[in-house]
Amino acid sequence: MSMIAEDTLMCDREWGDTEFESKILRNLLGCYPTGVAIVTTRTADGRDVGLTINSFASLSLDPPLVLWSLVNHSPNLAVFRDCTHFTINILGHGHQELAMRFANPRIENKFADVATHLTPEGVPALHGAIATLVCENHKQDTIGDHLLMVGHVRRIGSEAGKPLVFHGGSFTALHEAP
């Protein structure tokens, strides 16, 4: 093998592929473990809406801002874009079924038999979440194929518990480092 060919191979190995299908990218992004949350809100006519997300991230401490993103073909795009507040409910490791329920578009009323309370801001919060952040809808922007939602954190709460984890396309839990 010539030096040039070897260099090219090295280059590929060191710097990676510049052409890839989005499925490949999605699988690669799955190498990055995340927590799992359910974002909830209430429409002006009193209907509760929520979905499972793992795009949640902290953005700023001062002011306290968080972000998440909603796929732009979501049936609830307008609901979240126009809401005044939403709740980020961070799930514990026993909440896998709840996460799957709120990720299933075929379930008409995801909130049936799910314990919630209404926050003073008028949005539902799920009982048992290990952390709850009630956010004012601060900013939204369509970026790529998602609506980026930025929330100003107005109220927080927490309960003891370990988080549910999403990694490689599956739910898992934290394990002690060896």
Ligand X SMILES: Cc1cc2nc3c(=O)[nH]c(=O)nc-3n(C[C@H](O)[C@H](O)[C@H](O)COP(=O)(O)O)c2cc1C
Helix (H) or strand (E) holding 34: strand 34-35
Distance in Å, CB of 107 to ligand X, minimum? 8
- Residue 75 lies near ligand X (rule: CB under 6 A): yes
The four Cα atoms 89, 93, 95, 101 give a dihedral, to 10 degrees, of 90
Residues 30, 59, 67, 76: which binds ligand X (CB under 6 A)? 76
Site for ligand X in 85-104 (CB under 6 A): 103-104
Q: Give the chain's length.
A: 178
d(CA 42, CA 70): 16
- The residue whose two tokens read 């949640």 is 56
Distance in Å, CB of 43 to ligand X, minimum? 13
Cβ distance to ligand X smaller for residue 28 or 178: 28
Taking CB positions, which residue lies at the least distance from ligand X? 55
Which tokens in the block code for residue 165? 């984890």
Cβ distance to ligand X smaller for residue 88 or 125: 88
Q: How far is CA 172 from the centre of its chain?
A: 15
Residues 36, 98, 134, 165: which binds ligand X (CB under 6 A)? 36
CB-CB contact of 52 with 110 (8 Å) = no
Site for ligand X in 155-174 (CB under 6 A): 166
Contact set with ligand X (CB under 6 A): 36, 51-55, 68-71, 74-76, 103-105, 166
